[in-house]
């Protein structure tokens, strides 16, 4: 049985919803055959989010970690290829902190690559009729921050890990009238599909 930790984020930047939070709160531990799913919602706070994520990994000892986050403007579910060693965003986190041109670890690698099989994930999502594409990086806000901290902490461990951005969900259309939205049920199916790919690989 593959143990999979799946995380999302709370709403941020004065929003009331975050699709990644809704995805994880709608996942059940036994939703995917061959996998035991553990879920958590992280704060959108640089100083706390990675700390909580790494504590969850230590507590649950998962075989795989999939972190989800919202990326307004995206038109597909997008597994990220690289986490970059940079905090640099024009908006504040939920504690009011704004970070500009700040390295996450002064003496660590410039970037770490995901260990998720991202091409296989995109193919599986498309088979399900879900728009999907590989994205190069997760930006430089809190999403990238936890992705980088996770890949740095797990760089010598046999834990499959990575970050996946999702579009806005349909319920956010009123607040983002000009941006693409996706049905939440489709995103939940996408999350289950990603877990199913990892479970199948662990049985191979």
Give the residue numbers annotated as catalytic, written as ranges. Answer: 80, 143, 165
Inter-residue contact 38 to 45 (CB < 8 Å): no
Burial of residue 108 (number of CB atoms within 10 Å: 0-12, 13-18, 19+): middle
Query: What's the start-to-end Cα distance of the chain, in Å?
Result: 12
Measured CA distances, 199 to 20, 69, 81, 142 (Å): 21, 22, 20, 28
**Distance between CA atoms of residues 166 and 149, nearest Å:** 20
Burial of residue 134 (number of CB atoms within 10 Å: 0-12, 13-18, 19+): middle
Q: Beta strands 78-84 and 160-166: pairing type?
A: antiparallel
**Distance between CA atoms of residues 88 and 202, nearest Å:** 36
Residue 50, token pair as written in the block:
């990675």
């Amino acid at each position: 049985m593959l143990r999979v930790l799946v995380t999302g984020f709370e709403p941020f930047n004065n929003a009331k919803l975050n699709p990644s939070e809704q995805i994880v709160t709608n996942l059940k531990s036994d939703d995917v055959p061959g996998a035991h799913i553990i879920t958590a919602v992280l704060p959108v706070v640089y100083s706390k989010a990675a700390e909580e994520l790494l504590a969850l990994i230590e507590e649950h000892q998962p075989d795989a970690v999939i972190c989800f986050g919202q990326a307004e403007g995206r038109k597909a579910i997008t597994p990220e290829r690289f986490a970059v060693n940079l905090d640099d965003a024009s908006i504040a986190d939920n504690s009011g902190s704004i970070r500009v041109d700040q390295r996450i670890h002064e003496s660590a690698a410039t970037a770490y690559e995901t260990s998720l099989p991202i091409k296989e994930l995109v193919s599986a999502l498309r088979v399900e009729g879900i728009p999907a594409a590989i994205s190069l990086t997760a930006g430089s806000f809190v999403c990238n921050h936890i992705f980088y901290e996770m890949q740095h902490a797990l760089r010598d461990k046999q834990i499959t890990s990575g970050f996946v951005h999702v579009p806005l969900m349909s319920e956010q259309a009123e607040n983002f009238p000009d941006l693409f939205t996706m049905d939440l049920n489709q995103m939940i199916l996408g999350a289950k599909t990603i877990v199913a790919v990892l479970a199948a690989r662990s049985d191979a």
